[in-house]
Amino acid sequence: MGIDEGTILTCSEVVPAGPVVVSKNRQELAIGRSLARQINVEVLARADAAGLAKPSLKSETFGEV
């Protein structure tokens, strides 16, 4: 899975005291928090607001994890 500028990802899970799990094309990747904080993101839509994911999904950007 490549993550380049413009890549659209879904934040699948934020593990307490652990990694941020992102998904793209049915593949998941766990990113350590220190790396996740360095990634700038643009929120296109909140999945919980659209009824697509668990309402407990808290992070809108990786930098706020």
Confidence of residue 1 (pLDDT cuts 50, 70, 90): low
16 Cβ contact list (under 8 Å, min separation 6): none
Check if the beta carbon of residue 50 is closer than 8 Å to that of residue 60. Answer: no
| pLDDT value of position 65 | 43
| pLDDT value of position 55 | 39
Check if the beta carbon of residue 24 is closer than 8 Å to that of residue 9. Answer: yes
| pLDDT value of position 18 | 92
pTM for this prediction: 0.63
For the ranges 30-34, 46-50, 60-64, the maximum mean pLDDT occurs at 30-34
pLDDT, mean of residues 26-34? 91
The structure tokens listed for 24 are 């793209």
Taking the CA atoms of residue 52, residue 3, residue 44 and residue 54 in that order, the dihedral angle to the nearest 10 degrees is: 20
